[in-house]
A and B are shown apart, each in its own frame.
Chain A
Amino acid sequence: MSLYRTYILSVMVPLLRTPAYWVPLVVFPSLLYSFFGLPPSQQGSEIANILLASWSAFAVIGIGFFQFGVSISQARESKWEDYARTLPAGAAPRFVAQAVTAILFLAMALALLWTVAALAAPVSLRLEQYLRLLWVLLLGVIPFVTIGAALGYSIPARGAVPIANLLYLPLSYFGGLWLPPQMLPDIVAQISPFTPTRQLGELAWAAVLDSPMPLASIQGLAAYTAGAAVIALTMWRRDETIKTG
């Protein structure tokens, strides 16, 4: 429908016109991957596969936190948003536009990351392993977008970018996405299993190792999603009450 198309363009176009926004989002995972994720040459392809899965998950988390967290938090304080709310449309087109844009940026980030990996690492994944990984990543968008929304409704626009970074980097490190869990310092290793990033990591690793999806990680992510959804809804309602009261 044309209204959805219009909303998608109205979210996507200004972001694409701001390379300062999307370049870091798209390039960051590949950049860090080439610093920390390329295995020493004597290592086999299994390690390379695992590392690629980790950094792919890292990209998902960034999209959730930035595309949703930061965008929502900034929109809450924008006067244009006040105007847009007087137009005859509900919340659905706005949400769909954000989601489609998030997926577009994720696709760009993954395309770059996987290209770098194909060129510089002994990655050897079969098509079905790639597809399995892609599925995990797409489903992983749901919890991290929800966490992003919870952040977006909880923090003021000024703090959005620093706080998103403050959570993004440590959480992905704690989740074992930078270094494999076995290599994490003791104390970090103890916290690691409880982070949502670790749950996504576990699923991504299972995808490339041909092992069954660990149920505990799916449950963990579901729990995080539910918790974040409750926070997002509560904060959203608080916002609405203030605005429409």
Chain B
Amino acid sequence: MVETIAELKSVSMSYGKLTALDAVSLSLGAGEAVCVLGPNGAGKTTALKLLTGLKRAQRGKALLLGRNPRTPQARRVIGVTPEDAAFPHGLKVRELLAFARAHYPEPADPVAIIEAFDLGENLDRMALQLSGGQQRKLAVALAFCGAPRAVFLDEPTTGVDVQSRQRMWAYIRKYKQAGGAIFLTTHYLEEAEFIADRIVLINQGRIIRSGRVGEIRDAVNVRVIRFDSPAAPALRAARHTGSEGERHSYLSADADDSVRALVSSGIDFSRLEVLPASLERAVGELLGSDAS
């Protein structure tokens, strides 16, 4: 059985009339990557703060390897990304890495971290003077530099250039394959798709859906239909979402019906494709239908 590293056990949190979390249970095992998605204020941040020791559960329990995350000992097994632009005044990249490392009994090899997060050239610069993308790299490097058993990554590659992003993703994957656990929050669904095994959708303090990336995508029947034709016809059960030259894209709630309509309309078309909707679309649909 996979060892559980981080866990919320039917945790409820409320602030006045606002319910931030409503009996939420969630577990993160070794070698597993979970991405928590949901609109702002859905409860993602509260879940993150509970597991990283910044908040105390009002009801239920938050646990790290069975221990209370509020104790420093329990937090030895986790690494966390600082929020955007949170670096302190007057400290260099090198010094921040050393600061984080000093907290862990067996930290990661600093050379490997510096390389994976492309920090070599900036080691002696003040963290606050780095560009937004470089600051993100440092933030993620800080989460990994203690070689923890689980990392909590908040928007890890937002604003990072494509090349560095690929390198960061590769590092994150390798970490997972070596048994590391990942708790990811992001608005960037390509990232979720690449890193996460499991998606947890939170809305209004509740988990409304949880499953493998493919399951979430299939949970909505929306399909993308694409084909070439001289003009973009109106299609039953589908909405025209865009064209590139003679290639048209549609979003259909019933792809079978739409294709049938296309064929029987007698329009000349070629290169027909029916694709699953993007994760982004699926998540949008799921959250939208729940909110309504």
Interface residues of chain B: helix, strand, loop or mixed (majority): loop
Among the listed A2, A13, A85, A89, which residue makes an inter-chain contact with B90, where contact means beta carbons less than 8 Å apart?
Answer: A13
Whether, in the assembled complex, B266 has its beta carbon less than 8 Å from a beta carbon of chain A, the answer is: no
Whether, in the assembled complex, A90 has its beta carbon less than 8 Å from a beta carbon of chain B, the answer is: yes
Contact with B along A193-228 (1 / 0, CB 8 A): 000000000000000000000000000000000000
Whether, in the assembled complex, B99 has its beta carbon less than 8 Å from a beta carbon of chain A, the answer is: yes
Contact of B82 with A85 in the complex, beta carbons under 8 Å: no
CB of B14 to closest CB in A, whole Å: 10
Contact of B54 with A9 in the complex, beta carbons under 8 Å: no
Report B42-72 residues with CB < 8 Å from chain A CB: 52-56, 58, 70, 72
Whether, in the assembled complex, A15 has its beta carbon less than 8 Å from a beta carbon of chain B, the answer is: yes
Among the listed A3, A13, A88, which residue makes an inter-chain contact with B73, where contact means beta carbons less than 8 Å apart?
Answer: A88
Contact of A85 with B102 in the complex, beta carbons under 8 Å: no
Contact of A86 with B75 in the complex, beta carbons under 8 Å: yes
List the A side residues contacting B103 at CB < 8 Å: 3, 87-89
**Which A residues are closer than 8 A to B by beta carbons?**
2-3, 6, 9-10, 13-15, 17-18, 78-80, 82-83, 85-90, 243-245
List the B side residues contacting A9 at CB < 8 Å: 95
- Other A-B pairs, 18, CB within 8 Å; known A15-B90, A86-B78: A3-B103, A13-B95, A18-B89, A18-B90, A79-B82, A80-B86, A82-B54, A82-B83, A83-B80, A83-B82, A85-B53, A87-B80, A87-B100, A87-B103, A90-B72, A243-B55, A244-B56, A244-B70
Given contacts A10-B91, A245-B15, contact A86 B54 (CB under 8 A): yes
**A132 vs B20: C-alpha distance in the bound complex, in angstroms?**
57
Contact of A79 with B86 in the complex, beta carbons under 8 Å: yes
Contact of A89 with B78 in the complex, beta carbons under 8 Å: no
Task: Considering the complex, give the chain A residue whose CB is closest to the CB of B73.
Answer: A88
Contact of B55 with A245 in the complex, beta carbons under 8 Å: yes
Contact of A78 with B102 in the complex, beta carbons under 8 Å: no
Whether, in the assembled complex, B245 has its beta carbon less than 8 Å from a beta carbon of chain A, the answer is: no
Listed residue (A88, A89, A244) with the most chain B CB atoms within 10 angstroms of its CB: A88
CB of B60 to closest CB in A, whole Å: 15
Report B74-119 residues with CB < 8 Å from chain A CB: 74-76, 78, 80-83, 85-91, 95, 98-100, 102-104
Given contacts A6-B99, A243-B54, A244-B55, contact A82 B86 (CB under 8 A): yes
Among the listed A14, A83, A245, which residue makes an inter-chain contact with B83, where contact means beta carbons less than 8 Å apart?
Answer: A83
Contact of B72 with A89 in the complex, beta carbons under 8 Å: yes
**Which B residues are closer than 8 A to A by beta carbons?**
15, 52-56, 58, 70, 72-76, 78, 80-83, 85-91, 95, 98-100, 102-104, 142, 152
CB of A14 to closest CB in B, whole Å: 3
Contact of B86 with A14 in the complex, beta carbons under 8 Å: no
17 chain-A/chain-B pairs, Cβ below 8 angstroms:
A3-B102, A3-B103, A10-B91, A10-B95, A14-B91, A78-B86, A79-B83, A83-B81, A83-B82, A83-B83, A83-B142, A86-B152, A87-B75, A87-B80, A88-B73, A89-B103, A244-B70
CB of B240 to closest CB in A, whole Å: 44
List the A side residues contacting B81 at CB < 8 Å: 83
Which 6 A-B residue pairs are closest in the complex by CB-CB distance?
A14-B90, A79-B86, A83-B82, A6-B102, A88-B75, A86-B80
List the B side residues contacting A78 at CB < 8 Å: 86, 88
Task: Considering the complex, give the chain B residue whose CB is closest to the CB of A21.
Answer: B90
Task: Considering the complex, give the chain A residue whose CB is closest to the CB of B142.
Answer: A83
Contact of A83 with B95 in the complex, beta carbons under 8 Å: no
List the B side residues contacting A15 at CB < 8 Å: 90
**A214 vs B251: C-alpha distance in the bound complex, in angstroms?**
86
List the A side residues contacting B152 at CB < 8 Å: 86
Task: Considering the complex, give the chain A residue whose CB is closest to the CB of B81.
Answer: A83
**A3 vs B99: C-alpha distance in the bound complex, in angstroms?**
8
**A10 vs B70: C-alpha distance in the bound complex, in angstroms?**
23
CB of B19 to closest CB in A, whole Å: 14
**A66 vs B6: C-alpha distance in the bound complex, in angstroms?**
40
Among the listed B76, B86, B98, which residue makes an inter-chain contact with A83, where contact means beta carbons less than 8 Å apart?
Answer: B86
Task: Considering the complex, give the chain A residue whose CB is closest to the CB of B89.
Answer: A14
Given contacts A82-B54, A86-B52, contact A17 B90 (CB under 8 A): yes
Task: Considering the complex, give the chain B residue whose CB is closest to the CB of A240.
Answer: B56
Among the listed A6, A17, A88, A245, which residue makes an inter-chain contact with B98, where contact means beta carbons less than 8 Å apart?
Answer: A6
Task: Considering the complex, give the chain A residue whose CB is closest to the CB of B57.
Answer: A244
**A209 vs B58: C-alpha distance in the bound complex, in angstroms?**
59
CB of B271 to closest CB in A, whole Å: 50
**A90 vs B72: C-alpha distance in the bound complex, in angstroms?**
6
Contact of B54 with A85 in the complex, beta carbons under 8 Å: yes
**A33 vs B143: C-alpha distance in the bound complex, in angstroms?**
49
**A80 vs B90: C-alpha distance in the bound complex, in angstroms?**
12
Listed residue (A3, A9, A85, A87) with the most chain B CB atoms within 10 angstroms of its CB: A87
**A85 vs B71: C-alpha distance in the bound complex, in angstroms?**
10
Contact of A88 with B82 in the complex, beta carbons under 8 Å: no
Contact of A14 with B56 in the complex, beta carbons under 8 Å: no
